[in-house]
Amino acid sequence: MSSAAGISNDPFANHWMPFTANRAFRANPRVLVRAEGIHYWNDAGAKLIDGLSGLFCTPAGHARREIADAVARQLTELDFAPPFQFGTPGAFRLAAELAAITPSGLDRIFFTGSGSEAVETAVKIAFQFHRRRGEGQRLRVVGREKAYHGVNFAGWSLGGMVRNRDQFGLGMPGALHMRHTHLPENRFQMGEVEHGAELADDLQRLVDLHGADTIAACIVEPVAGSVGVLVPPKGYLRRLRDICTRHGILLIFDEVITGFGRTGDAFAAQRFAVTPDIMTMAKAITNGAIPMAAVAVSRAVHDAIVEQAPQGAIEFFHGYTWSAHPVACAAALASLRLYRQEDLFARARALSPYFLDAVASLRDVPIVQDTRGIGLLAGIDLAPGAAPGARGFAVLDAMFRAGAVVRVTMDTIILAPPFIYERDDVDRLIGLLRDVLVRV
């Protein structure tokens, strides 16, 4: 076969797009060509307001010159260095800066290239921790229904989004699931919801069934993001923390979406005043400029793995070619500097009440079945259309044509605006959404 045989006149033929209805896309493309501040531009030159911070990634807005300049300098100074057995200055600086804003005690930082990799790493750390303590039989991990932990093997096994799971077999052995907290009695509540804290006792039920000495960790998103923004019931996370502590189970918070100010604090763990043993982060760590993620680990967990290994030996047989990539570190350091200098976490906290009130105002639209949210993160459930997910997809496409970028999961609209929004920007986004919802 000649090398030209695979070339197509269709510009969309060769790229197999992730989490996309590819055939529908090719029939009706949505192409973004430029971004700046809180806006995208499409290939027809139309300007679209970003209602999603890229994909929860760009709280400081797009195309920030400060980050671009830091990346350009790093590329000409040190573009790449092997992360195994060698270090770079930026990685150590970044780890120290992250340790300064993570919850107290979570000050050992392991770098990865994506949120999915961070979850995989967190699970491996949990297994390694128990093995080093002589409890290698702890091989079960508890996740939750209606949860998303990325697409790597551990992540999709522990997640609870059915269509992400049923295509790929049985998954990781020992993956268990608690019930979700998406309860009808919590409809149209903003912030922490009133009902469902007792669902944390599902973890105790699993302990009673399988034995505490078989369970390594419990992983939850403090706010379940990709399934439609499920804010936890009051006291739920504290109850999980207490059960984990009582039975020697490590608590992992997946803060890939909620990290870096999305709930109004640096991390949701601080917003809810519950400290896990391990915490993942990604997305906004570089303001979306370069792929990067990290895992923050308590000193006790880190030391049990590192200090008990033989002197001179590799303590943790895990890592990625792109761990602590020098250019990603430069982008992350520049992003953290922006967050500090522009006090963006406080800006998100200040704008949150206005944003959540605006989202809540949509409850009078006939097809809206629920609104909920926290910080600058909100979910809007719609009545299903002709088939599950059909109405949500129609809203996604209609919003693109109307001049806005949002996210949908089935028939739920997800909003996560950049922290540099003003009130007028909130009004514009919600106004466009209202206009679309009354038409679809």
Judge whether 408 and 439 are in contact, CB under 8 Å.
no
Burial of 342 (0-12, 13-18, 19+ CB in 10 A): middle
- 104, 370, 121, 101: which is closest to 254 by C-alpha? 121
Distance CA 415, CA 333 (A): 26
Kindly list the domain boundaries of the chain, sorted by start residue: 13-64+343-437, 68-341
Tokens 């936890």 belong to 232
Q: What is the mean pLDDT of the chain?
A: 96
Query: For 193, phi and psi rounded to 5 degrees?
Result: -90, 165
Dist. CA 158–CA 143, nearest whole Å: 5
Q: Report, as an integer, the average pLDDT of 171-192.
A: 96
What value, to the nearest 5°, has the Cα angle with vertex 188 and ends 185 and 192? 80
Q: Is the pLDDT of residue 416 over 70?
A: yes
The answer to whether residues 369 and 379 touch, using CB atoms and an 8 Å cutoff, is no
Q: What angle do CA 383, 407, 428 make, to 5 degrees?
A: 90
Q: How confident is the model at residue 170 (pLDDT cuts 50, 70, 90)?
A: confident
Q: Is the full-model pTM beyond 0.85?
A: yes
pLDDT of residue 431: 98
Task: Average the pLDDT over each of 110-114, 148-152, 307-311, 424-428 and give the range with the smallest value.
Answer: 307-311
pLDDT digits (tens, 9 = 90+) for 274-291: 999 999 999 999 999 999
Would you tell me which CATH number, out of the four given (3.90.1150.10, 3.40.50.2300, 3.40.50.300, 3.30.470.20), belongs to the domain 13-64+343-437?
3.90.1150.10
- Reported as a single tens digit per residue, the pLDDT across 14-72 is 999 999 999 999 999 999 999 999 999 999 999 999 999 999 999 999 999 999 999 99
- Residue 329 — pLDDT band, cuts 50, 70, 90? very high
What 8-state DSSP symbol labels residue 52? S
Q: Is the pLDDT confidence value at 161 over 90?
A: no
CATH of 68-341, one of 3.40.640.10, 3.90.1170.50, 1.10.3430.10, 3.40.228.10: 3.40.640.10
The CA distances from residue 336 to 109, 308, 342, in Å, are: 15, 33, 10
Contact 50, 428 (CB under 8 A): no
Going by pLDDT thresholds of 50, 70 and 90, the confidence category of residue 7 is: low
- 327 vs 322: CA distance, rounded Å: 10
What is the C-alpha to C-alpha distance for residues 194 and 213, in angstroms, rounded to an integer?
A: 32
| Letter string b/e over residues 80-97, b meaning 16 or more CB atoms within 10 A of that residue's CB | eeebeeeebebbeebbeb
